[in-house]
A and B are shown apart, each in its own frame.
Chain A
Amino acid sequence: MDNWIYSLSFYGIALCALAGACGVLFLRNLFHAGLSLILTLFSVAGLFVLLGAEFLAGVQVLIYVGAIAILILFAVMLTQRLTAKRVRVFNRAFLPALAAAGLFAAAGIWLLFRGEPRPWERAVGGGDAIPLLADALLSKHILPFEVVSLLLLGALIGAIVVARKEETK
């Protein structure tokens, strides 16, 4: 019974994620596409919960939904005068790009199911990993951890410099 509920919630959440991604692809209004992106990001957080990675789910909601998606929506509102006019949404490469993405997906499916022995046969799941994650992050991966904080500082300063209005002297 438990397994049944798990499967059903996986299919529901995955369907939401893919529907949101299709919305990002096909919605003409970029603001609506951004809202659709938020649906996908929430669904990915749900997938993380199903995978037993609760900390990552929280991080996903905080950073992706709370920061990146809101930033994208702000940028859409700051740049869009296009809602009234009919502008082309796609460039001329739609069909070749569709073929390329389809080929990519087919190659991935083939790699997954060609019957080679795989190291991940165990069922998904596991115990509480948050203390282990904290240990790993602050001992084994301490150098990338610090480098990433420098990167964030650089991105902060860089974004301010790039987006600032030019001073007229």
Chain B
Amino acid sequence: MNAFVVGPDHFLVAALALFALGLLVTVTRRNAIGVLMGIELMLNGVNVALVTLDRSLAAPALEGQVFALFVITVAAAEAVVGLALILAVYRSRVSIAVDELNELSG
């Protein structure tokens, strides 16, 4: 068993890297649609981790895949509402840079 043979750890590390990159995108992008893309990246990382654990547990259980399905569904709803909000903001303000939307900060 050398480190090259792919096991659950490899998938978990890939999921971790996806989540970290998504976090970076979410925190640093100025465009609101870019922020939404980062959130989708993070959700994908979480899904990979869920399915990996689901498929490699000693006692077979399907909860991981069911959770991943629900995550995908809720992500679709979130993307729809988020993009609708972004379009509404764009129509009233012309800019969707998230660091310029600061009416509520005193």
Contact = CB atoms under 8 A, between A and B. Distances in A.
Interface residues of A, number: 86
Interface in B85-101: 85-88, 90-91, 96-99
What is the size category of the interface that chain B forms with chain A? 35 or more
Contacts of A159: 80-81, 83-84
B23 A133 contact: no
Interface of B: 4-14, 16-25, 27-31, 33-34, 36-38, 40-41, 44, 47-48, 51-58, 60, 62-63, 65-66, 68-70, 72-81, 83-88, 90-91, 96-99
Interface of A: 3, 6-7, 10-11, 14, 17-18, 21-22, 24-25, 30, 33-34, 37, 40-41, 44, 47-48, 50-53, 55-56, 59-60, 63-64, 67-68, 71-72, 74-76, 78-79, 82, 87-91, 93-94, 97-98, 100-102, 104-105, 108-109, 112-113, 119-126, 129, 132-133, 136-137, 141, 144, 148, 151-152, 154-156, 158-160, 162-163, 165
